[in-house]
């Protein structure tokens, strides 16, 4: 290997390491409440165009069994409806 190739390889390794460390610091700096809401949105596979806060609030207010696909689907449906503004506070789970 030439000296230039060794320097380039070392530079890329350092650059990747710094980027990974920066990403990990970003993850650790997220508040637990936000991390929980993001995990819930990811679990329910909410669409990107869904309004996040109403959808997650509706999902958190709905009793859900994580081992039951029908329960998850029902919660995801309610969350999407709330996220699109089609579910009001007086409606919701029964």
- Do 45 and 25 belong together in one domain? no
Q: Please state whether the predicted TM-score (pTM) of the whole model is above 0.75.
A: no
- Do 53 and 81 belong together in one domain? yes
In terms of residue numbers, what domain contains 20? 1-30
- Do 40 and 23 belong together in one domain? no
User: Largest Cα–Cα distance in the chain?
Assistant: 71
Which has more pLDDT, 38 or 23? 38
- Do 52 and 86 belong together in one domain? yes
- Do 57 and 71 belong together in one domain? yes
| Tokens representing residue 6 in the block | 């060794």
Question: Please, which pLDDT band fits residue 77 given cuts at 50, 70 and 90?
Answer: very high
């Amino acid at each position: 290997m030439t000296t230039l190739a060794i320097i380039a390889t070392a530079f890329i390794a350092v650059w990747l390491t710094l980027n990974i460390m920066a990403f990990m610091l970003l993850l650790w700096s997220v508040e637990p409440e936000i991390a929980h809401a993001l995990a819930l949105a990811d679990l329910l596979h909410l669409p990107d165009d869904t309004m996040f806060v109403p959808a997650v609030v509706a999902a958190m207010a709905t009793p859900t069994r994580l081992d039951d696909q029908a329960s998850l689907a029902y919660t995801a449906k309610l969350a999407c409806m709330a996220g699109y503004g089609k579910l009001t506070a007086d409606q919701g789970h029964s």
